């Protein structure tokens, strides 16, 4: 299984946003991809985003899923591939 928490730790949201072409302004805000946003309403934090207009909220995996029209699992796979994370499919140590 993918470990979303591990991805969240390893891939900064701003880093992923930049890599995937989401423009984040100097105030750390971006135009929301979850609603038709004319002004940057979505605040990009290091580990999550929050849109103050529509209330969209999530982590780097949610953002990637939305940007590319992927399921959350597919988005996690993409993040692993793009950021060179290889261990998330390893079985959890029990």
Cβ atoms 47, 61 nearer than 8 A: no
Phi, psi of 65 (to 5 degrees): -60, -45
> Minimum distance between the CB of residue 81 and Zn ion, rounded to whole angstroms?
27
Q: How many CA atoms lie within 13 A of 18 on its CB side?
A: 11
If one asks whether residue 53 binds Zn ion (CB under 5 A), the answer comes out as yes
Q: Per rule CB under 5 A, is residue 81 in the interface with Zn ion?
A: no
How far, CA to CA in Å, does 93 sit from each of 9, 84, 87? Answer: 18, 21, 12
- Of 13-32, which residues contact Zn ion (CB under 5 A)? 32
The answer to whether residue 51 forms part of the interface with Zn ion (CB under 5 A) is: yes
Q: Does 5 bind Zn ion (CB under 5 A)?
A: no
* Token pair for 40: 């940057």
**Interface region with Zn ion, contact rule CB under 5 A, candidates 12-20, 55-63, 64-72, 73-81:** 55-63
Q: Which residue ranges make up the site for Zn ion (CB under 5 A)?
A: 32, 34-35, 51, 53-54, 56
């Amino acid at each position: 299984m993918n470990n979303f928490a591990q991805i969240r730790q390893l891939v900064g949201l701003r880093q992923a946003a930049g890599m995937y072409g989401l423009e984040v302004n100097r105030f750390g805000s971006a135009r929301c991809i979850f609603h038709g946003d004319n002004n940057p309403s979505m605040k990009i934090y290091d580990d999550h985003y929050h849109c103050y207009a529509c209330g969209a909220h999530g982590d780097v995996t949610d953002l990637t899923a939305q940007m590319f029209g992927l399921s959350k699992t597919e988005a996690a796979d993409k993040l692993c591939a793009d950021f060179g994370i290889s261990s998330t499919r390893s079985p959890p140590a029990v």
